[in-house]
Amino acid sequence: MTKRTTSKGKASPQDAMQQELAQNIRYGQARTATSERRASKPAGAELSRIVAFLAELGGEIEAALEPNTPNPHLNMVLHLLRCHIEGRLVSASSIVASAGVPYATAVRKLHDIQAAGLIEQRPRTKSGKSFSLHPSPALLERFNQLADRIDRIGSTTFAGGQPDRAHEDYYFGGTYVPGKAMIPPPHVLQSPLRLPGGLRILVHGDPTFMVMDHLKRQFEQIIGVDIHQRAFSIDRLREEALRNAERGKSRYDLIALDLPWVGEFVKKGLIQPLHRIMDVARLDPSDFHTAGWRAAHWDGVPYAVPSQTTPELMFYRKDMFAMAGLEPPRTTDDVIAAARHFHDSRNGQYGVAWNAARGTALGHTFMMTCAAFGQPIIDLPRTAGGFDADHLEGHEFRPRLDSDRALAAAEYLVRLMDYSPPDILSMSWYERVRPFASGKVAMAYGYTLLAPYFELDETCPAHGQTGYLPHPHGPEGAPIAPVGGYVLAVPANLAEDRVAGAVEALIAFTSPAAQKLYAQNGSRTAPRYSVGADPEVHGLSAIFETVDQMSWRDELQFWPRPPIPQISDIIRICGHELHDMLRGIAPPADALARAQARAEEIMRKPLT
């Protein structure tokens, strides 16, 4: 489903690393002898585990006890749920065959289940004579609750009558706290989407979208059509999205946009405002992390839906800091001190890894470092929570790349060079995570979406030993977690007869049930509060609770990467000029002065 190639038809080094990371996510850890055996096991879903348990238990009881009467209702429900989880279509004949009773009896029992509203039919042909069967939302919700009770009873019984903390929460009302209830699996749409040729999506080649690729068959069953997904690295994704806008009709039904691109795509008229094509309330906007939802707007109007909200944080090795008697780094001076302590280049040990590769990677680093020193890269007005990036329409902004705080941020990056790996000047998104995962560096700046690289690989020294912090701040800054990630939007040039189907797919892919499924299959991004609070998701990684807490503390902010239309050009300018600075070709003040002049020229030009 996913296609990634360079212009010459060969996989780029970054794409090769993305594919390796995708393998880790798909198999739950780095591929070892044991992981091959795990590959066939459905990933982590509680419902899947209970369905399999009940099916096996029923088979054992029937084999061991004679005489015995089969339970056709339960057998058919388990068959239906198992196929739904595995993304296999169920016909009337196949579900009847699973009942374990004579045909006529099974048909009557099937009618009983349908009459109870537990099964939905979806036509497979225009005539409706051929149809598939799917669990209804009511069945999914009831069985999800049943799965929780069975798990509790089993754990209590076989753990010697000592329920764990989760079960204590159940008895004392924890499951009734708002936002704490388990989200049931996604249910199928009542009718297949009307998208001839299938759903076409343009995405970024990152772990969350690779999870969607892995779950292709299940989502095809949910929406009722084939899914064709193309994935690119960040720069090539923007190029393809802009190239697609020049076509008479969009080649894609949905496109993924990096958050800072929203302003450019809106101002150029390349994506459709959501309120014109759908009822925005269907998205339940209040459930999204505030910063992620606001970043999908322009001038107060929503143009896209958060697919992943992934702040860039400081990853640090808790075990190494504990052994050294050091506190986690809260300020930039703490980072330098800790990096100096752990740096031992002669033995292949380094203090910190970060994005320093020329161009887009380093440009992003500089923007977010400026934010940690208390300043955006353009003259945004101050607000109580930092700076106002919500009201950019109609304003003429000036770059602030030559200020004292920008200079302090640049000098901090120069200081980091002394404690970084030798290949730091070519290190970007994925390359910075690899040495951290392997234990060669003590700290790394990284997006939460990269955490599966070590969280799902039990062989990594960083596995289970990683702490997560907001960006350590400079003297005049404050703790901040710059929001990254991608939103899904409907192209403005999409054929009119495909818009309704694209909207339904957009809702399905960004729903709490879908986001929970991504998390259970390896993603470490959750743009919705309800997903992070789900007990099954909450236990997968400390990231979900950490990000939720940062959001409540208002540390998640999108102003560090303000979505002005010229932002991509400014990022590249910073990434080129500051790379010369890091190489020692230009002093920090000179590099910033050149970046300021080039950025001012860009912002004076009319938008095309």
3-class DSSP string for 298-344: ECCEECCEEEEEEEEEEEEEHHHHHHHCCCCCCEHHHHHHHHHHHCE
Architecture of domain 46-184: Orthogonal Bundle (1.10)
HSE (side-chain half, CA atoms, 13 Å) at 231: 24
Helix (H, G, I), strand (E, B) or coil at 348: coil
- Integer Cα distance of 268 and 94 in angstroms: 51
Q: Which residues are within 8 A (CB) of 421 and not within 5 positions of it... i.e. 6 or more apart? A: 350, 353, 427, 435, 440, 441
Question: CB within 8 A of 221, min separation 6: which ones?
Answer: 84, 87, 88, 89, 134, 188
List C-alpha distances in Å: 57 to 78, 79, 560: 12, 14, 54
Tokens standing for residue 28? 């739950």
Q: Please name the amino acid found at residue 442.
A: A
d(CA 355, CA 165): 40
Supply the CATH classification number for the domain 311-483+556-604. 3.40.190.10
Q: Do β-strands 305-317 and 481-489 pair in parallel, antiparallel, or remain unpaired? A: antiparallel
Q: Please tell me the pTM assigned to this model.
A: 0.78
What ranges do the domains of the chain cover?
13-29+191-309+484-540, 46-184, 311-483+556-604
Q: Is 201 helix (H, G, I), strand (E, B) or coil?
A: strand
- For residues 45 and 142, is the Cβ–Cβ distance under 8 A? no
pLDDT at residue 128 in the model: 63
Architecture of the domain whose range is 13-29+191-309+484-540: 3-Layer(aba) Sandwich (3.40)
At residue 256, the pLDDT reads: 96
The residues that bridge with 481 in the sheet, in sequence order, are 556
Task: Report the pLDDT value the prediction gives residue 37, as an integer from 0 to 100.
Answer: 33
Fill in the amino acid letter for 230.
R
Whole-angstrom Cα distance, residue 493 to residue 245? 7
Q: Which of 211, 222, 220 is nearest to 140 (CA)?
A: 222
Alpha helices (runs of H) in 343-451, residue ranges in sequence order: 360-372, 404-416, 433-437
- 472's torsion region: left (phi>0), alpha (psi -120 to 50) or beta? beta
Do the first three CATH levels of 46-184 and 311-483+556-604 match, i.e. the same topology? no
Decide the pairing of beta strands 556-557 and 481-489: parallel
**Series of mean pLDDT values for 10-residue runs along the chain (608 residues):** 44 51 46 35 56 78 77 86 80 86 88 88 73 84 77 69 47 42 83 92 88 87 92 93 96 96 96 96 92 93 94 96 97 97 96 96 96 96 89 91 96 98 94 94 95 92 96 94 95 97 96 92 90 88 90 91 94 97 96 97 87
Q: 311 and 532 in contact (C-beta within 8 Å)?
A: no
